[in-house]
Structure formats: structure tokens, C-alpha cells
Amino acid sequence: MSYDLIVIGSGPGGYVCAIRAAQLGMKVAVVEKDKTFGGTCLNVGCIPSKALLHASERYEETGQLFDKMGIKVGKPKLDLAAMMKFKDEGVDGNVKGVAYLLKKNKIDTVQGTGRIAAPGKVEVKSAGGKSETLEAKAIVIATGSDVARLPGIDIDEKRIVSSTGALVLDKVPERMLVVGAGVIGLELGSVWRRLGADVIVVEFLDRILPGIDNEVCRQFQRILERQGIKFKLSSKVTAVDANGKTLKASVEPAAGGAAETIEADVVLVSIGRVPYTEGLGLEGVGVRTDNKGRVMVDEHFATNVPGVYAIGDVIAGPMLAHKAEDEGVAVAEIIAGQAGHVNYDVIPNVVYTFPEIASVGKSEEELKAAGVAFNVGKFPFTANGRAKINHQTDGFVKILADAKTDRVLGVHIVGADAGNMIAEAAVAMEFGAASEDIARTCHAHPTLTEAVKEAALAVAKRSINM
């Protein structure tokens, strides 16, 4: 078969790219090695983790807040199997949705592992061992990423788990040790703590969530500690002894020194993800990768081999579904001769814990390092009417605006529903808004978004409700 475009991988990068290319009139095929479409995000990432975060948050809320609101339901009882079914149904609905969209857009789907045999040629091997070769004018590599492993620590996905195993535990562990205070560690650590586990997080650095604004992280760590998560910063796990009934993890200071043993029933290894290019045949065709194994591309997502492009987790940049999606759209438009583009300065980042953390643009530390003069406007949720009536007053909104032009350079939110609220900031920044633009925009009352307006007012020191 001959196509205009073959996309290898059906995650948020790949399937979105295929649909945009089909909209632009191309004949498109998607090659996927797994049984279902949607990649990491839909099968073992964003979607199942958010389902468990949602369900476990409701579980905790029922136990803690309902009584205060005058709703007497007694002590909630956990039916973990039913919660897992709730999650699986969400995944099922989403992966079927992608299959429907691919069909609707008349995109051919080929089940099997794709290997670039030559520029314009993709050999697909099915699980049964059958192989066929497809031809195309362009190939997009959208093969995503895989779990990063710790040397000497074997992930069995039962007791020593990656995020994939942590999404399917059949029993709440009494003690869970999380290696890495990044997004996965804090989201899935929160899930299992809410369901009853005693959670300790061991982090190599002296702070949680590297890359996120320091002030946000400091307050967030205090909130998580109040919720019961323990942290051991500047520390590393060097070994896990899995011989006994309980796991024994050796934990050392990051700089080296005496080790201590921490016992746990489950160890979650969440120290990052690595690009996935296994079996793609990159070396054979000469596609260049960098020292982290990421496929190297230019600003048009083109690799060094003509007609071969790459997007999503397999290239540099934040490993986020919406970043992969936007690159999918951009590369399809570029291949069609249009001016596809991704604005990397305005990619929102959300951690779906409670409260949520959401940010877009630069942090204070980044602006200081770049020597940019800026003003700060901050507004706490303790002064927001809606947060007060909901009894959800943890957190704040912080807006960083250029000292000379007032242009918004970064927005950082810790608070309930921060992930939805950050969209306003992203739109404002895409349009080059000043903080005054946000401050003069009418925000509905009573909503949490009024805290965004108040933070914008606070940039010019004229907040009303504080």
C-alpha cells in the first residue's frame, strides 16, 4: 500500500497528527504495536491516573467534607475492585473513541511493530510474525516514551512497580515508598495515601517537582505533608531487597554517606521517562538521536533523513500529551505545505493532586536567571469567596509580569481546580496580554477564577479583596 503519510504510534501525538493530515486531504496510515490505540496517555498514563485521582479524591472528600456540609453518609468504605473497574471503563471509552475517530477520518490502521526499512518504507511485523511493507511520501515517528529504570532494581510490576503497575494494584499497600518527587510520584502517591497507604517519597534533589516555581513547590510540599505524605529529600534509593515478605529499600544521602533501611510493601519507581525507539530501525536509516536517546529534529520536526519527521515524547521538550498533540497538528500542516507551529513558551503544566498545581510560562527563578525585571501579583484563595464557601482555601495565584511592558510572563496556581483555571492564562499569554488586560476582564462571581483577576490587580498593587 502507498500513502501520503505513515504515522508510527497512536498516542496523543500520533493519532492527532493522523487526523489533522487526513483533514488536509492526505491518505494516511497509523501503525500501532499495542492492541488498543491512544498510547501511554490513554492506556497507562493520563487517563487511568486521572480516573483514580478523581475517585480517590471523592473518597477522601466523602470522609472529610461531607459531614461538615451536613451530608450524613457514614464512614466511606473502599471497594478497590470497583474503583479499578470505574478506571478501566474510562480507559475503554477513550481508546474506543480514538478507534472511532481514525475510522471516521478514513485513516488505515495497521496493527504491528513498525520499522523504518528505508526512507519512505515502513515494515510492519504483526504479533503473529507476519510482515508487510507500506510505502509513503512522509513518515512521522510518534513512538513516545517508556519508564526510566534504576540500575539494579528490577521492576516486577507487582511489588516494585512503575506507574503502570501502580495503576493496577489489587490491594492498598500498608506502606508505599515512592522514588522520585516528580509528577507521577506525587499524583500516584496521593492516590494510594488517600486510599489508606502510609506514603514516603524519597527524592534525589533538595526540592519536589523540579522545574516548577520554588514558592509554589514549598507551599505544596507543606500541604502534602499536612495530608500525611512524608518526604525524604536529598536522598537516593540505591537498592531494594525483595527477598523477604516486606521490601527493604536502602536509602542514602544524595551526596553519599551512611545508608538507612526503609521497609515498604510496594516501591513505586517514578524517576522520569525515556524516549522509546526500540525496533524502529533508526540506526539502519541513519536517523540521528541525541545523548538521551531522543530523535533529533529541526524546528519543522524534520529529522536528518528526508521525509522522516518526529514528534511527542520521543523528541526533546516536556513529556506532555498536549505538547505531543500540538506537535502532531503542526507537523501535519508542515507536511501539507502550511506553516504549522508550536509556541513552546505557552505550554501549560498541571499536576492533578489536591490541590492542583498549574503553571504556564516562566517561573520566578527562570526570569531572575535571564535577568528579566518583573513585577509579582499574588492572591491567596483564603481571600476568595468561592474557595471560602467550599472550604478549599489552600493555595494562591501568582502572576509574573514584565516590569516595563506589563506583559504576562508566567502564571502559577496552587489550588482546587487550578488545571482548569490555567487555560485563561494560556489564552491571555498567546495574545500577548498585559496583566492589566486580565485585571480589566470581567470574571464571574463567585468563582475561583476571580483569584486570577485579583492576582492581576495585585501586580499593580490594587487588589480589591485583600
Map the footprint of ligand NAI across residues 39-98, applying CB under 6 A: none
Nearer to ligand FAD, 233 or 316 (CB): 316
Map the footprint of ligand NAI across residues 227-286, applying CB under 6 A: 236-237, 270-273
Instruction: Please identify which residue in 9, 165, 380, 395 interacts with ligand FAD, judged by CB under 6 A.
Output: 9
Nearer to ligand NAI, 32 or 313 (CB): 313
Instruction: Please identify which residue in 29, 98, 181, 184 interacts with ligand FAD, judged by CB under 6 A.
Output: 184
Q: Establish if 107 lies at the interface with ligand FAD (CB under 6 A).
A: no
Nearer to ligand FAD, 113 or 303 (CB): 113
Instruction: Please identify which residue in 24, 27, 34, 238 interacts with ligand FAD, judged by CB under 6 A.
Output: 34
Q: Establish if 394 lies at the interface with ligand NAI (CB under 6 A).
A: no
Nearer to ligand FAD, 84 or 319 (CB): 319
Nearer to ligand FAD, 416 or 459 (CB): 416
CA–CA separation, 204 vs 236, rounded Å?
A: 5
Choose one: 32-40, 169-177, 294-302, 334-342; the region binding ligand FAD (CB under 6 A): 32-40
Site string for ligand NAI, 159-198 (x = CB under 6 A): --------------------xxxxxxx-x-----------
Instruction: Please identify which residue in 220, 276, 309, 352 interacts with ligand NAI, judged by CB under 6 A.
Output: 352
3-state secondary structure the chain: CEEEEEEECCCHHHHHHHHHHHHCCCCEEEEECCCCCCHHHHHHCHHHHHHHHHHHHHHHHHHHCCCCCCCCCCCCCCCHHHHHHHHHHHHHHHHHHHHHHHHHCCCEEEECEEEEEECCEEEEECCCCCEEEEEEEEEEECCCEEECCCCCCCCCCCCEECHHHHCCCCCCCCEEEEECCCHHHHHHHHHHHHCCCEEEEECCCCCCCCCCCHHHHHHHHHHHHHHCCEEECCEEEEEEECCCCCEEEEEEECCCCCCEEEEECEEEECCCEEECCCCCCHHHHCCCECCCCCECCCCCCECCCCCEEECHHHCCCCCCHHHHHHHHHHHHHHHCCCCCCCCCCCCCEEECCCCEEEEEECCHHHHHHCCCCEEEEEEEHHHCHHHHHHCCCCCEEEEEEECCCCEEEEEEEEECCHHHHHHHHHHHHHCCCEHHHHHCCCCCCCCCCHHHHHHHHHHCCCCCCC
Map the footprint of ligand FAD across residues 122-151, applying CB under 6 A: 142-145
Pair 117, 6: CB distance under 8 Å: no
CA–CA separation, 373 vs 299, rounded Å?
A: 29
Instruction: Please identify which residue in 6, 12, 297, 453 interacts with ligand FAD, judged by CB under 6 A.
Output: 12
- Take residue 348 and report the three cell numbers written for it: 501549560
Instruction: Please identify which residue in 17, 199, 224, 351 interacts with ligand NAI, judged by CB under 6 A.
Output: 351
Q: Establish if 180 lies at the interface with ligand FAD (CB under 6 A).
A: no
Q: Establish if 331 lies at the interface with ligand FAD (CB under 6 A).
A: no
Q: Would you call 391 a catalytic residue per the annotation?
A: no
Map the footprint of ligand NAI across residues 402-441, applying CB under 6 A: none
Map the footprint of ligand NAI across residues 284-343, applying CB under 6 A: 318-320
- Take residue 241 and report the three cell numbers written for it: 531487597
Instruction: Please identify which residue in 5, 45, 179, 310 interacts with ligand FAD, judged by CB under 6 A.
Output: 45
CA–CA separation, 442 vs 421, rounded Å?
A: 15
Q: Residue 357 Cβ, how far from ligand NAI at the closest point, in Å?
A: 9
Map the footprint of ligand FAD across residues 58-97, applying CB under 6 A: none
Q: Which amino acid is at 353?
A: T
Q: Residue 46 Cβ, how far from ligand NAI at the closest point, in Å?
A: 7
The bridge status of strand 235-241 relative to strand 247-253 is: antiparallel
Instruction: Please identify which residue in 53, 102, 134, 203 interacts with ligand NAI, judged by CB under 6 A.
Output: 203
Choose one: 4-12, 241-249, 335-343, 401-409; the region binding ligand FAD (CB under 6 A): 4-12
For binding to ligand FAD (CB under 6 A), which residues are involved? Answer: 8-14, 31-34, 39-41, 45-46, 49-50, 113-114, 142-145, 163, 184, 276, 279-280, 312-313, 319-322, 324, 352
Applying CB under 6 A, the residues found at the interface with ligand NAI are 150, 179-185, 187, 202-205, 210, 236-237, 270-273, 318-320, 350-352
Catalytic residue positions, numbered: 445
